Amino acid sequence: MQPKNTIIIFMNNQKEADKQVREILQQELQNRAGQDIVFITEENQHAGSSSEHRAAAILKEIEEKNLLPPVPQEDEVYTEEEAEKIKKRLEDLGYL
C-alpha cells in the first residue's frame, strides 16, 4: 500500500464562489485518490504586499497546518550588556 500524499492548493481569497470550488475539489480529489487535501488561502489583505511578505504569510500558514517544520528562532547574538557597549562605542565614534 502506498503512503498517502498531501495535496496543497493555493487560493487567492475566500469569496463564496471560491468556497464552492474548494468543496468540489476536496470531494473529487478525495474520491479519486484518497489523498489529504490542504487549502492555503492568500487573504486579500496580503494582495498589495511585497512578494517577501506574501510568501512569508503563506509559509506561516503551512507551518500552522504542521506541513512544514517552523524555522528555529535565532538566538541573541549579543547580550544586553554587550549591545550597550557597542552602542556607546558607535556613539563615541560619531556613528550614532
Map out the domains of the chain as residue ranges: 6-92
Query: Which parts of the chain fold into alpha helices (H)?
Result: 16-33, 51-64, 80-92
- Residue range 3-49, pLDDT digits in tens: 556 777 777 766 777 778 878 877 877 777 666 777 777 766 655 67
Q: What is the pLDDT of residue 14?
A: 66
pLDDT tens string 61-75: 888 888 778 777 776
Question: Is 6 or 2 the better-scoring residue by pLDDT?
Answer: 6
Of the pLDDT bands very low, low, confident and very high (cuts 50, 70, 90), residue 2 is very low
User: Do the beta carbons of residue 65 and residue 38 sit within 8 Å?
Assistant: yes
User: In the structure grid, which three cell numbers stand for residue 66, read together?
Assistant: 504542521
